[in-house]
Each structure stands twice: as structure tokens, then as C-alpha cells.
Amino acid sequence: MAKKIVIIGAVALGPKVACRLRRLDPQAQITLVDRDDRISYGGCGIPYYVGGDINDLEDLYRTSAHAIRDESFFLDIKGVEVLTKVEAIEIDRHNKKVKIKDLKTNQEDYLHYDKLVMATGAGAIRPPFPGANLPGVFTLSNLQDAEQIKSLMTQGKVGNAVVVGAGAIGLEITEALTDLWGIETTLIEMEDQVLSTLLGKCIARAVATELKSRGVNLLLSERVMEITGKGESVTLEVRTSTEVLSTDIVILAAGVRPNTKLAENAGIAFGRSGGILVDRRMRTNDPDIYAGGDCVELRNLVSGENTLMALGSLANRQGRVIATNIHGGNSHFVGTVGTFCVKVFDFGVCKAGLTYRQAKETGYDPVYSVVAQPDHAHFYPNSEFIYVSLLADRRSRKILGIEACGKHGDSVKSRVDTVAVMLGKGVYVDEICSLETGYAPPFASAMDVINNAGNSLDNILAGSNRPIDAADFLFEFPAGTRRVIDIRGEREAEPFLEKFGSNWLNIPQNELRERYTEIPADEPFYIICDTGARSYETQVFLSSKGIVDTLHVQGGYAMIKVTDPEF
């Protein structure tokens, strides 16, 4: 007798399970259920549709061969029955059946299963402040939201917008509104940095600078108190902890929450993060029920703790694992290192592993390096700086995470992906220092930026490199407790000498061995060069001469400039 497989949810994981399982078992009776009428679409592409990079909404649920992935496509081509506008409302685990409701007719029925897959995804969070449900206040949880927002913009009804939440979706939709449509956009974030759960402060501040340079009104450490309507018009007012903003639309990008009510009512086990617990075979505590995608918790392979990771890429990989195991195979999804990337105007931003704060909270003793280096050979045309932060545990020297940003997004992503592959199995500083990567001047330097990030971290751990990152330097320098030794040439240093006077001492590196006696041995100093390499060498030399109270600025002036261009 053919197996009966019921899959609840038909966006990312669900269709992957169905299609993989059909290839494994041509006889299985596979039914997909979804409460929406649009299925199997690329949800991560929604901001790019709103922004105009993708012209046609159907492109998000069209195959590479230009077929529309709808009910007929799945039935005629995949041999899979899809029930749209149908909601699963109850799971009877004892009798192995799912109660469903047709949202068009309100008629109820049952689907019997041998194996059940929960692909219920996650829903956008509407924060609990007053006005979060007013007309004109949107989330980006589905294609209907995207259509409504874009329709208002194409009609010329949106001149101002407020985005609440500076996570990945918030940054993507902020770019979409600002870049193509020229909408005056305010981005509000309650934390003191953008991408607070994904980046450390150094790379995050570079991203914030890119946003501001594109005209985004970025409000950090700011809370939305309420949203109100104004008279009979569609204009809204957003009251924050410090000001009132008039706007035409508000987009809530405050994160997502797993859709787990159905599982909870059925007695399926949950984890501390609120997601469904699954084993490495993606099974729940009921061996006949599998789950995956945005509704489950995954093991973080660096910290060892469970985490939520809402990414379509992970959902598709998990879908293959689930289908294989339903068919009787033995496939495992061991976890994630949290690899993530996002485009922010001209910047590609990418990370894998833990941030400094997450490492600290997990119990590590984290230390990090920051390097700025051209992504191609420095002498090759069109090279751009790539900024990399590499994090390790001080005691074990184990690499815990990597973050990077730069104008050539592919270069940024390739560096982070290289380290991400090794993070799950454990990789150490020495291995990054000697990591073999491809070299040709159009693609990289002979000593790649990843190697140099490892070398810098190795020197920090050895105690010969005593750094301060650009963000901390910019915060602490105005206090006047340390002066700067600038070892660049006179021309580069001149504007700073004029601006900061005696607080800025210029001794070009080629003159240092003759002039180091001009530096008071009992005074603390910062050391600055272009990218950090020469300032580290200077620190080592000065230490040999008894001038030891120095901090060199990681990433040098390049990192300062990308963090605060007005410095």
C-alpha cells in the first residue's frame, strides 16, 4: 500500500520534501496543505520585488524554466496534490490524522497520514505598542504584503516611510524604499547598533555608515512608543522615545516568531527558543512527525546551544533530509554555524559563527582581530577594501566566528564561506594563518585577507599586538587620555595635525628609528597607519625601546574612515 504523506506548509521546506520524496517513491500519496493561495515562493526575494530589482511578483514562484509553481504544476509535473486556502487546525496523533478547514467554504475534513511533516514556518512579529495594527502599518510576511506596499508606491502615495527594526529584513526593505523609489526613510532600532544579533560593533558601525551615507535617517537606541493616525488621511505619526515622525507607511521588521500553535496543541516538544525540537533526522518527539524550516530549533555547532535560524537555504537542505528519512534512509542534519549574508546598498555583509557578545554569554573568553585589506591584489585595478573581523577563544585558540563587509559582495561572501565550512568541525587560529586559498591578482592578494586576519589574531593572543578597534578609538579619543602617533606621511597626516593639534603626533615610519626618542616613554599613545599593518610593526619596535603603553588601531585609517567618514 502506498504511504500517505501529509505536509503542512507549502512555501520552502514543504515543496522540497514533496518533490524529493516523489523522486524517491513514485507511488507515495503526497498531500501539501497551505492556508495561502500562493505557494513555493522565494520569500527572501520580497524586499527585492518591492525595491524593483524583480519586476514581476510571479518571478518569485516561477521555476528557472519559467513554469509557475501552483497547484496544477505540482499535480501535473510532480504528482503531488496541493490544497491551497486550506488550514490544518488539529493533529490527532493517536489516530494519525489531521483536521483541515477549507477557508473558502468553512467545510472541515480529515487527512490521514503515515508520516506527517510540519513546515509551518514563522510569522512576522507585530510589537505590542499601540497602533501596530493600523491601516498603513505593514509587515513583510507574505506576497500580499509586498503587493500592497508596492502598489502604494507605484501610485505615488508614499513619500516618507518608517521601518521598525534594523535586522536583515529591515535593512533590505530600507534599501528597497530608498534606492529605487527615493522615499525618505527612517530606520528605527532599539539596540545601539544595526544587525545586533548578527554582527559585532565594529562591522555593524561600518554598515550603519553606509546606510547614513545613502540618506537613511538611522535612529539607534530608540524605541517606538505608539503609532497613531492623523485625521481622515492615511498619514501616520510614529512617536518614539525622543521624537514624533510623520510618515505615509510603517513597515514592521521586528523579527519573526515560529508558527508552532498547531504543534503545541498536539503535544509536540519545544525548546528554550520557542521552536519545535527535532533530532538530527529532523524527527519530533513523535517518530511519525517530522519538522523543519523556520518553525524548528537547530543546534548551533559553535556554541552547542539550540537556536532559531530562519533561512530558506537551511529549509531546503532540511527538506531533502526529511524526505530521505521518510523513505527509509538515514540522513542527518547536524546543525548550523549561522552563516548569513545581506546586501546593504553598495555593501555586501556576511558572517558565520558567534558574535563577541554571544561568545561571552556562552562562556568563552573571546578576543578578535580586525583587518582592512584590498580584496584583490593592491596593484590590480578596481580593488576595493574588505573589512574582516575574526573571533577566537583566548584559552583554546578555537575560532568562534567571522564577520566581513565590503563593496564587492562576492569577495566578502567567499571569505566568510571559506571559514564557515570549517567552523562546525572546529578550526583554530593556526589553521587560518596557513589556510590555502586560490591566488591571482584579479581575485586576491598573495597573503589573503583571511590569512592576515588569522595572523593578526595570532599576534594578539601572543601579546605582541595590543589593539583597539576603530569603534572604541572613535569613542575614547575625544576624552584626551591618549595622544596619537600617526606613522603615515606628512601629507596624509596634515589635516589631522591641523584639526587635533598637539594631540596628533606625526612621525613617518621611515623616520621612526631616528626620531623615536621624541616620544615620551611614560605617556600612553594610540598608533595609526593606513590599514593597521605598519602600526603593529611600530608598536613592536617601540616596545623594544621601552615605549610600551600603546594601542594600535585595528584596520587603521581605512577602518576609521568606513566607520566615521567625518572624523
Task: Please check whether residue 538 is in contact with residue 525, taking contact to mean a CB–CB distance below 8 angstroms.
Answer: no
53 has pLDDT over 90 = no
CB-CB neighbours of 442 under 10 Å: 10
Mean pLDDT of 393-409: 96
pLDDT at residue 230, rounded to an integer: 65
For the structural domain made of 467-563, what CATH number should be given? Answer: 3.40.250.10
Task: Please check whether residue 32 is in contact with residue 142, taking contact to mean a CB–CB distance below 8 angstroms.
Answer: no
Residues of the chain with CATH 3.50.50.60: 4-123+257-326, 137-254, 340-462
DSSP assignment string, 174-243: HHHHHHTT--EEEEE-SSSSSSTTT--HHHHHHHHHHHHHTT-EEE-S--EEEEEE-TTSS-EEEEESS-
- Residue 43 and residue 256: Cα distance in Å, rounded? 13
- Residue 546 and residue 97: Cα distance in Å, rounded? 78
240 has pLDDT over 70 = yes
Res. 297 pLDDT band, cuts 50 70 90? very high
Percentage of the chain lying above the pLDDT 70 cut? 99
pLDDT at residue 280, rounded to an integer: 96
**SS3 per residue for 421-435:** HHHCCCCEHHHHHCC
Mean pLDDT of 4-25: 95
The chain-wide mean pLDDT, for the chain, equals 93
- Of the ranges 66-80, 198-212, 386-400, which one carries the lowest mean pLDDT score? 66-80
pLDDT at residue 277, rounded to an integer: 96
Residues of the chain with CATH 3.40.250.10: 467-563
- Best CA proximity match to 259, nearest among 306, 308, 225, 302: 308
- Residue 63 and residue 40: Cα distance in Å, rounded? 10
Give per-residue pLDDT as tens, 89-104.
999 999 999 999 999 9
Architecture field, domain 4-123+257-326 = 3-Layer(bba) Sandwich (3.50)
Cell of 426: 572546529
- Residue 517 and residue 529: Cα distance in Å, rounded? 19
Residue type, position 160, single letter: N
Give per-residue pLDDT as tens, 118-127.
999 999 999 9
Res. 67 pLDDT band, cuts 50 70 90? confident
37 has pLDDT over 60 = yes
Percentage of the chain lying above the pLDDT 90 cut? 82
CB-CB neighbours of 283 under 10 Å: 18
- Helical (H) or strand (E) element with 26: none
pLDDT at residue 142, rounded to an integer: 80
- Best CA proximity match to 36, nearest among 91, 98, 81, 87: 87
Task: Please check whether residue 532 is in contact with residue 553, taking contact to mean a CB–CB distance below 8 angstroms.
Answer: yes
pLDDT at residue 489, rounded to an integer: 94
CATH of 340-462, one of 3.40.50.300, 2.30.40.10, 1.10.8.60, 3.50.50.60: 3.50.50.60
Residue 4 buriedness (CB in 10 A; 0-12 / 13-18 / 19+): middle
pLDDT at residue 232, rounded to an integer: 45
Res. 234 pLDDT band, cuts 50 70 90? low
228 has pLDDT over 90 = yes
pLDDT at residue 350, rounded to an integer: 97
Residues contacting 459, CB < 8 A, separation 6+: 465, 536
Mean pLDDT of 105-125: 95
CA distances from 275 to 157, 306, 434, 479, 553 (A): 39, 9, 39, 46, 41
- Residue 168 and residue 185: Cα distance in Å, rounded? 16
Q: 47 by DSSP, 3-state: which?
A: helix
CA distances from 395 to 97, 399, 428 (A): 53, 11, 11
Res. 64 pLDDT band, cuts 50 70 90? confident
Mean pLDDT of 401-429: 95
The pTM for the full model equals 0.92
Q: 271 by DSSP, 3-state: which?
A: coil
CATH 3.50.50.60 fits 137-254, yes or no: yes
208 has pLDDT over 80 = yes
180 has pLDDT over 80 = no
Residue written as grid cell 496534490: 81
Residue 250 sits at φ, ψ, to 5 deg, of -125, 135
